[in-house]
């Protein structure tokens, strides 16, 4: 009987618990030593094997690097009128669809539009469209960061280092 009560109490507590969110991380490897790390929060209820958008995440932030040195960052807290935030994430594959026309279901625009030129005078952004995946820095397209548009961009529950290695779970 004690075991049944304990199990019932655990189930009741789980049902009454607040909605949990998954913290997801990703790392992008561009050309010529450019990388970008990022993280975002997705409510567990949205992790049902479908596509989610920027409207369904709780936070989002990215940091760009050139040969390991930070060159800029952006978060959805910095979102202002006229800035771009177009996000598509497939929870079934744990990846961002890439390689499609911007804006569309297989493109990304994180403080960078399809022309990769609207990240602000002191800004940083990322774009994935049908031409390339690339960075925007100080309002200018960083052409030499570009890689093939269909290059996979996946997420993980483990954070990454600036050179796109998974962080040591013990540190």
Per-residue pLDDT tens over the stretch 62-72: 999 999 999 99
Q: What are the Cα distances from residue 75, in Å, to 10, 21, 86, 116, 171?
A: 37, 18, 13, 17, 25
Residue 24 and residue 40: Cα distance in Å, rounded? 5
pLDDT bin (cut points 50, 70, 90) of residue 15 is: very low
Domain ranges of the chain: 18-156
pLDDT digits (tens, 9 = 90+) for 104-154: 999 999 999 989 989 988 899 999 999 999 999 999 999 999 999 999 999
Which two tokens mark 148?
Answer: 């093939």
């Amino acid at each position: 009987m004690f075991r049944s009560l304990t199990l019932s109490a655990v189930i009741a507590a789980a049902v009454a618990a607040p909605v949990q969110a998954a913290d997801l991380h990703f790392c992008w490897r561009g050309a010529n030593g450019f990388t970008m790390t990022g993280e975002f929060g997705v409510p567990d209820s949205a992790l049902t094997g479908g596509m989610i958008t920027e409207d369904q995440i709780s936070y989002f932030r990215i940091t760009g690097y050139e040969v390991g040195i930070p060159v800029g960052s952006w978060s959805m807290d910095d979102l202002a009128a006229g800035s771009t935030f177009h996000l598509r994430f497939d929870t079934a594959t744990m990846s961002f669809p890439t390689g499609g026309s911007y804006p569309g279901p297989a493109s990304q625009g994180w403080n960078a539009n399809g022309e990769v030129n609207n990240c602000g005078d002191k800004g940083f952004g990322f774009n994935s469209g049908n031409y390339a995946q690339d960075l925007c820095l100080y309002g200018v397209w960083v052409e030499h960061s570009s890689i093939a548009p269909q290059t996979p961009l996946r997420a993980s529950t483990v954070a990454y280092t600036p050179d796109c290695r998974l962080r040591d779970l013990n540190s």
